[in-house]
Structures are given as C-alpha cells and as structure tokens.
Amino acid sequence: MKELLYNNDEDVITTYGNMIYHIALSKTGTKHDAEDIFQEVFMKYLKKKPKFNNEEHRKAWFIRVTVNCTSSFFTNVFRKKTRNITEDLIFIDKEMQDLSTELHKIPQKYREVIYLFYYEEMSINEIGIALNRKNSTVRTQLTRARSMLKEFMDMEDYYV
Amino acid sequence: MFKDKYKELMDSYKPSEELINRTVKLAKETKQTTSKKAKHKHLRPILIGLCLIVCTTVAYPALAATIKRIYELMYLAPPSVAETFTPVEISHESNGIKLEVVAIDISGNTAKVYFTLQDLIDNRIDKTIDLKDSYNIEGVGTAVCGCEFYGYEEDLKKATFMITITDLDSNDISKSITDNLTFTLKQFSHENQKYGFDESFKIPVNLEYIISDLKGTQEVHANGAGGDYEKYTGRKIFKEKAEAIIQNIAPVSVGIEGFNIIGAGYKDDKLHLQVEVSTGNTLNDCGYLYLRKKGDTKDVICLYNISFSNYEHMPNEDDELFPLRYEEEIFDIPKDELSNYELFGYFIKEGQVIEGNWKVSFPLTFEMSNSDQYQKNITK
C-alpha cells in the first residue's frame, strides 16, 4: 500500500489526470466530452475534499467517480442527440485507427473493464471493487469484450 | 500483443496542457470561493427559509396548475441545476409493468431502497427474474451502489429488489446524497432454460435421412473453436479464418424453438452437422450436439467444432441484421454406420427478455411507508 504521496491539488491533477481522461475518453469517444468529464471529476474532488488512507484509496475513488460521472453524462437530457464518436481523434496509423474504431463499437461498460484490465493492469477482483460489480460479471464482460476485439487479440492476451 | 497496442493507443491521448492549467486554475478559484462562502455560512439557512416561504405562498398554486412548465425550465437551466428540478416520481408504468419504490431505509452510511415490479396485464414476472446489467442509478455521486433481488410475492406476482447505496467514506448517507436519485431500467429477463444437462436430450431426427450432399464451404470468422481444431484443420484459431459448410438442408428443428439443424453432410469422410441459433440472443444461447450408438450409453463427441455468427460484433442499436449464431461439429462416424447412431444435444436458452423504459426519481429523504413493516411482509 502506497502512503499518501501527494498533498497539493496540482500534483493530484497531474498524477491522476491521465487515468481520468482515458476512462472518460474510452467511454465517450470524444475529446470534448472527455474534457468536460475531466473537469467535473476534479471539481467534485475539490469541493468534496474526501479523506484517503493511501493512494490506492484515492485511485479507487477517482475511478468510481469518473465512471459515475460518465454514466450520468450519457443519460443527461442535455446530452441526448448531440455528438458522434471519434470525430475529433487523430490516429498514429491505420492499425491504431482500426483498433480505436473497434473499441468504440463495443458497449461502454466493457470499455472501462478493458481499460482497467489492460492499461491499469488491475486484477478482476480490483476491478470488481472499483466498479462495484461482481467478479463473475467483470470476467464475463472481459470475455465478451475480448471476443468482440478478437481481430486484435493474440493467444497470449487471453492469459495475461 | 493487444495489451501493447492498446497501451500505445491510450498513451497517444493525454489531457492537454491547457486543460490541466484550466483545471488547476479552477482548483485555486474553488479554494478562494469556498473560504469566502464559509464566512457567510450562517446566513444560508435563513435565506433558504425566506425563499421557501415566498415560493410556497406566492408561486405554489400557479406551479401546481401548470406543472408541465417545470420540465420546460429544465431545458433552460444548466445540467447540474436541472438534476435538482427532477420531480419526485416513485412509480412508473411501462409495457404494462409497474415499477414502484416502496420503502427507503437509511442507516448511517448506507441507504437501502426497495422497489417492486408488478405485471399489470400479464404474468411476465416470476421468481427467476434477473435485471442483469440493464439498470442505472444516477445521483449517487461518490457512493457505491448495487441492486439485488430481494423477494417474490407469489399471490401478487410481484418481485422486490433492494438497491444498496453506501458512502465508503462513512459519512451520513442522507447528508452526502442530497440530489434526487434516479433509477432507470431498460429490460429484465428470466432464468435460463437448459436442455440436456440433468437428463439426456434426444433430438427427434433420423441422421441417415437428413444428411445430404454438401453445397460447398465458406470462410467464416470463428468466435471460438474446440476439440482438436488446429490439428484437423491446420488453421490457427483467431489468426486465420475458419471453414464452415454452407447450408445444405431445409431447417430441421431440434425440438426447441430457435434451434435448427441447417447443415448435415460428409466432407472428407467426416460428418459435419451445423446448428443455427435464431433466438435473437446469440450471446448466451448456444447448442452442442453429440452422438450415441443405439443401445449404448457412451457419448460420442465431435473431433472438433467451430462457432461463428452472421455479424462480426455485438448486436447494437445500429444493427439492422437479425443476429444468428452457428455451431458446427465434425464427427468421425463412417457414413455406412450412421444408421446405428442417435443424435443428442445440450442447449441453453436465455429466459424471455422483457423490455420497457422504467424511470423513478426521488430524494433519499422522501417519506415512505414503514420500511420495517414492509420488510416483514416480503418473502425472502
């Protein structure tokens, strides 16, 4: 367990900013929306000033709040019928563009599991706690997501 | 590896310097605003009280007469403010099924919200009901929440569920959640039906009569494969496309709606049998065949099998294609011995899916009927 490492808000924003932005972007698919959620999450953090025991606790809080904010964002009356996905993303190459396109075809709730598992390298159990889902649900969602992304999967990706 | 490609992709996206600077600036401003507000904190209850008195005496009758205008106001207000405008609605009917919040139990950092689902026009609710992941709870802020089946009242055909909301920071939940909670539900289903698991499920067909000349093969993108797939086909699963037979017979039902044998024939002296799953739920519904020699109890399983579908991805709102799933099994049974074998199978069919658009919105502090009494009346 890492002790609390960051005492000022700037350090917290730069440390957790990438993760929050990635989760928001992976769910919304647009930079514009991801930026809105990024700010909303940090505003909640700054206003609420939650107390944490360690950095894992703080990280779990940010994941939970980002997922909640993104879910609310999609059901908000002001959001409906507004934007399309991937309209403002620039890709490194064709393969990356294909991967990004395929990622946005899978359901949102699978995208966050993919991100936490493959990028944050969290275990099924840790993801279950962070997203408040049963381990079996997380495992099923991961399996389904892999099946949908099978073109990009190697055999070893199933055993990581 | 997918992991490396995915990381590379995600690493190419970062919050811009401008966004970070803007957020840091906001953080500083928030600090200053918070300290200014704190000075006038004692004035807030008085001002709120005054506003409430004015509103209830002057505006309430007018608002009550034109309640729809509240919704119009929502479109003028910013999203964060609009949430507080959401009218309290503790029951909602959709597709002939009523969802009703019946009790709220608040204890320390946890709130338990009980709601019921009752079919007003049919018998579509039983004790095997499952909400899956098709519900959403908004307004919980930083708290964690979940929803579980709580009980079923046989006489009323009413199922009860319990939403648990917990503030992990151990704050009083009624103070940490002050906005309206909104619970939405899009669909629910019933327990899966399984065939062939408790006892053998014999398929009422005569194999030697249904087999026919094959019409050729097609390359498909397999969702999965089993047995000695790579050994017999020389192809790598997921890396290379798989080969499946083209439908060569009129659909023969296995005895379960949505499961039909549409391919049966020999290729390279191996028996190919292909089942089409047309239940609409290609994610969870599946079927597997096996053979048994007449008078014998030993199962003859396939050498290998492949699974594929008529679409590459999950069905979603944009898909116009009716999703179909195919399971093909390949057996090592000589053609002249086929009359000695009977066909059996395992099938899983997900329970009926009921769709609707249920939505209730209420504050945690909303006064409900006696929760303790309610809990006693529920059959757990």
What are the residue ranges spanned by the domains of chain B? 16-65, 88-191+355-377, 194-349
Per-residue pLDDT band for B62 (boundaries 50, 70, 90) equals very low
Instruction: Mutation target for A interface from B142, B241, B319: give the one with most A CBs within 10 A.
Output: B142
B223 closest CA partner among B286, B280, B270: B286
Where among A58, A89, A120 does a domain terminate?
A89
pLDDT 10s digits, B183-211: 999 888 887 888 998 899 999 999 999 99
Per-residue pLDDT band for B218 (boundaries 50, 70, 90) equals very high
Shared-domain flag, residues A8 and A83: yes
> CA B260, B343, B241: angle at the middle one, nearest 5?
55
Per-residue pLDDT band for B50 (boundaries 50, 70, 90) equals low
Shared-domain flag, residues A28 and A80: yes
- Closest CB to B141 among A68, A78, A137: A68
Q: How far apart are CA B104 and CA B90, in angstroms?
A: 11
One-letter amino acid of B365: T
pLDDT for residue B350 is more than 60: yes
Q: Which residue has the higher pLDDT, A156 or B125?
A: B125
- Per DSSP, the residues of A99-160 read HHHHHTTS-HHHHHHHIIIIIS---HHHHHHHHT--HHHHHHHHHHHHHHTGGG--GGGG--
Q: Which pLDDT score is estimated for B104?
A: 87
Q: Which pLDDT score is estimated for B261?
A: 95
> CA B365, B371, B377: angle at the middle one, nearest 5?
155
Closest-CA distance, B141 to chain A, in angstroms, reads 7
pLDDT 10s digits, B267-295: 999 999 999 998 876 667 888 999 999 98
CATH number, domain with residue A23: 1.10.1740
pLDDT for residue B107 is more than 90: no
> CA B160, B136, B371: angle at the middle one, nearest 5?
35
pLDDT for residue B168 is more than 50: yes
Number of domains in chain A: 2
Contact B314 A106 (CB under 8 A): yes
pLDDT 10s digits, B13-30: 888 888 888 888 877 777
List the domain range (segments joined by +) for residue A142: 91-160
Closest-CA distance, A93 to chain B, in angstroms, reads 10
Q: Tally the C-alpha atoms within 13 A of residue B160's C-alpha that lie toward its C-beta.
A: 22
pLDDT for residue B235 is more than 80: yes
- Closest CB to B13 among A22, A68, A105: A22
Contact A42 B184 (CB under 8 A): no
On chain A, the residues whose CB falls within 8 A of the CB of B184 are 75
Mean pLDDT of A73-87: 50
Q: How far apart are CA B140 and CA B221, in angstroms?
A: 42
- Closest CB to B142 among A21, A48, A95: A48
Shared-domain flag, residues A5 and A47: yes
Strand partners, B286: B348
Distances (CA, A) of B256 to B160, B202, B326, B337: 31, 11, 15, 27
CATH number (3.30.390.50, 1.10.10.10, 3.90.1150.10, 2.60.40.1630) of B88-191+355-377 reads 2.60.40.1630
Give percent helix, percent strand, percent coil of chain B, each to the nearest 5. Answer: 25, 35, 35
Per-residue pLDDT band for B34 (boundaries 50, 70, 90) equals low
Per-residue pLDDT band for B236 (boundaries 50, 70, 90) equals confident
Q: What is the ipTM of this complex?
A: 0.85
Q: Which residue has the higher pLDDT, B37 or A92?
A: A92
Shared-domain flag, residues A120 and A149: yes
Q: Which pLDDT score is estimated for B45?
A: 58
Shared-domain flag, residues A35 and A105: no
Shared-domain flag, residues A53 and A75: yes
Closest-CA distance, B212 to chain A, in angstroms, reads 33
pLDDT for residue B319 is more than 90: no
Q: Tally the C-alpha atoms within 13 A of residue B299's C-alpha that lie toward its C-beta.
A: 14
With a CB cutoff of 8 Å and minimum separation 6, the contacts of B139 are A72, B83, B177, B179, B180, B181, B182
Q: Does A85 touch chain B (CB under 8 A)?
A: no
- Which helix (H) or strand (E) segment holds residue A23: the answer is helix A9-28
Shared-domain flag, residues A64 and A23: yes
Q: How far apart are CA A110 and CA A118, in angstroms?
A: 12
Where among A89, A110, A137 does a domain terminate?
A89
Q: What's chain A's length in residues?
A: 160
Q: How far apart are CA B261 and CA B248, in angstroms?
A: 10
Q: Which residue has the higher pLDDT, B31 or A114?
A: A114
Closest-CA distance, A56 to chain B, in angstroms, reads 14
Q: Which residue has the higher pLDDT, A87 or A7?
A: A7
Shared-domain flag, residues A42 and A106: no
Shared-domain flag, residues A82 and A105: no
DSSP 8-state symbol, B89: B
Contact A106 B10 (CB under 8 A): no
- Write the burial class of residue B248 (CB in 10 Å: 0-12 exposed, 13-18 middle, 19+ buried): middle
Shared-domain flag, residues A7 and A81: yes
- Closest CB to A72 among B16, B22, B138: B138
Per-residue pLDDT band for B73 (boundaries 50, 70, 90) equals very low
Shared-domain flag, residues A44 and A56: yes
Per-residue pLDDT band for A156 (boundaries 50, 70, 90) equals low
- For B16, which residue in chain A has the nearest alpha carbon? A35
Report CA dihedral (B173, B177, B178, B182) to the nearest 10 degrees. -120
> CA B164, B166, B170: angle at the middle one, nearest 5?
155
- Closest CB to A119 among B6, B22, B316: B6
Contact A118 B74 (CB under 8 A): no
φ and ψ at A34, to 5 degrees? -60, -35
| The most confident of A46-55, B292-301, B349-358, by mean pLDDT | B292-301
Shared-domain flag, residues A73 and A117: no
Residue whose entry in the numeric block shows the structure tokens 């700010």: A39
Q: Does A96 touch chain B (CB under 8 A)?
A: yes
Where among A65, A89, A113 does a domain terminate?
A89
pLDDT for residue A106 is more than 80: yes
Q: How far apart are CA B341 and CA B79, in angstroms?
A: 66
What would the two tokens of residue A28 be? 């919304």
pLDDT for residue B126 is more than 80: yes
Q: Does A56 touch chain B (CB under 8 A)?
A: no
